[in-house]
Structure 1
């Protein structure tokens, strides 16, 4: 490990990182996929949290094939729904891995939320996950209700791609996008990819590994949203990044591109956070504040503030 490895100083996020590495080692990507998933599932279970009072879940399938989970909090203040796409580098993650996060977000924003269990790589390379998510998106838009598309990390990539594809398909009921430390196709060589190459929780080498596993074409803007040449007409966005994260500049650059093309954007870089800080929301002050602001951002887009 380099002596110059960038590291935050907040005790809560450092304790979170230590706890993560007890379950999911820093070199996890060197293990086989099955082992990675065992480690990740154990990690997610370690950070499970009680369900908000009165919230209900219902598991369903879209087109008889794609598993989704519908969260209905005790109080729903809008017809707008949230479609949430989980992270995990396209190779790990499930309805269970982000269950507590989805439940708390639905409760705090007072919205119905639907999460998706898309097909994972390497068994299913590009565009399997993208196609699954877009099929769910279309099913949610079928009744004309407004929809916010949200996702973290790999899910943030898919969420941004969904919004671009929805615009191309003329689907006008997508009213917001929420991108949480997303990977959007940066060059892996400059900016935060160089500065934070060895950041705790996610390295630039890890990002390269996940891209190689997914096998998405490098010139496809739905797979690499920063490659899009026009962002006009996209819905307003809430974008949040972690300062100690090689993906930081993807989020910042995307926010600037959206703003330049007339899209209303709220962007936050969480100053002491590392990748995957959502999971630290109950043990880190910075993550707690970041999650609170995220929930407010969703509420603002949904009109429930």
Structure 2
């Protein structure tokens, strides 16, 4: 990653005031990410999955039988299915799989476990169609992807064969050292932001609940995981500690760490070489495990 690329990527993001209203934060996030071009070969179709609004993402020529359930980020308080499509669509393009980006309910209007209930309902519905259902997500959506697998295991459901998470938020107790010592490096977040997100989403619920903080769960039996994270983010330790814990519990886990990269740097497709490489790596990782392949 060149110095110029890093500077350009940082110019797209700023540390917003966490005291802004949810509506103000949602509008600001949407202005920066909701209308990025996906390519003329991408079709987004509004749909409903398990009673939850979503966007079906397909790419011209795709022919894979599997489907990716994609869960967008935004601290459980902002973000949208359309923003999630910015990351899901390139993976669809390179794997030939289909993806569904979920419009799960947001806090503070819908606190825990609303987002989890929506994700689990969508996962069940996609499984009922008889296809392989993979799970992916970024930031809070990455944590939600992991929590969805834990909830599915609790209900005795078949787990997805693989999952990919980008800069996942795995610890709502905010105990990672990087929450403080990476604050000056992170161009987007500080501890203050995540304190506000915890308050909005948990609304007094115990942050040590494994379905809120997957880092604290028994991870035994989870499917192969790919985790990608940058070093210039306060959530760095959420990935490092989760990967270590997963490995200790005999989970097949791959961890990619990019020096100097900001939170969910994959959004900088076409701007940072590492963003393009990361999504190609995610697609290849899935393909190597037998999911997807070349687009016709």
Judge same fold: TM > 0.5, yes or no.
Answer: yes
2:84 to 98, 114, 129: 98
SS in 2 for 1:242: strand
Could you say which residue in structure 2 is the equivalent of 1:36? 25
**Aligned: 1:61 with 2:48:** yes
- Distance in 2 separating the partners of 1:123 and 1:302: 40
SS in 2 for 1:30: coil
Give 1:168-183 correspondences, 5 Å limit: 168-183=154-169
1:154 to 120, 125, 140: 140
Range that drifts further, 29-38 or 286-295: 286-295
Shift, 1:9, TM fit: 7.2
- Distance in 2 separating the partners of 1:10 and 1:295: 26
CA contact (8 A) 2:38 2:89 kept: no
Could you say which residue in structure 2 is the equivalent of 1:3? none
Could you say which residue in structure 2 is the equivalent of 1:18? 11
Change (3 A) 1:62 1:192: same
- Distance in 1 separating the partners of 2:98 and 2:198: 32
CA contact (8 A) 1:92 1:120 kept: yes
Shift, 1:94, TM fit: 1.1
CA contact (8 A) 1:60 1:67 kept: yes
SS in 2 for 1:96: helix
**Aligned: 1:87 with 2:80:** no
Give 1:121-270 correspondences, 5 Å limit: 121-185=107-171, 187-198=173-184, 199-215=186-202, 216-228=205-217, 230-270=218-258
- Distance in 1 separating the partners of 2:94 and 2:17: 33
Could you say which residue in structure 2 is the equivalent of 1:5? none
Change (3 A) 1:112 1:99: same
Shift, 1:302, TM fit: 4.6
Shift, 1:166, TM fit: 1.4
CA contact (8 A) 2:65 2:292 kept: no
CA contact (8 A) 1:186 1:226 kept: no
- Distance in 1 separating the partners of 2:176 and 2:151: 28
TM-score (norm 1): 0.88
- Distance in 1 separating the partners of 2:180 and 2:86: 33
Change (3 A) 1:77 1:271: farther
Shift, 1:11, TM fit: 2.2
Number of corresponding residues: 290
Shift, 1:143, TM fit: 2.6
SS in 2 for 1:151: strand
SS in 2 for 1:226: helix
SS in 2 for 1:31: coil
TM-score (norm 2): 0.91
Change (3 A) 1:72 1:19: closer
CA RMSD of aligned residues (A): 2.0
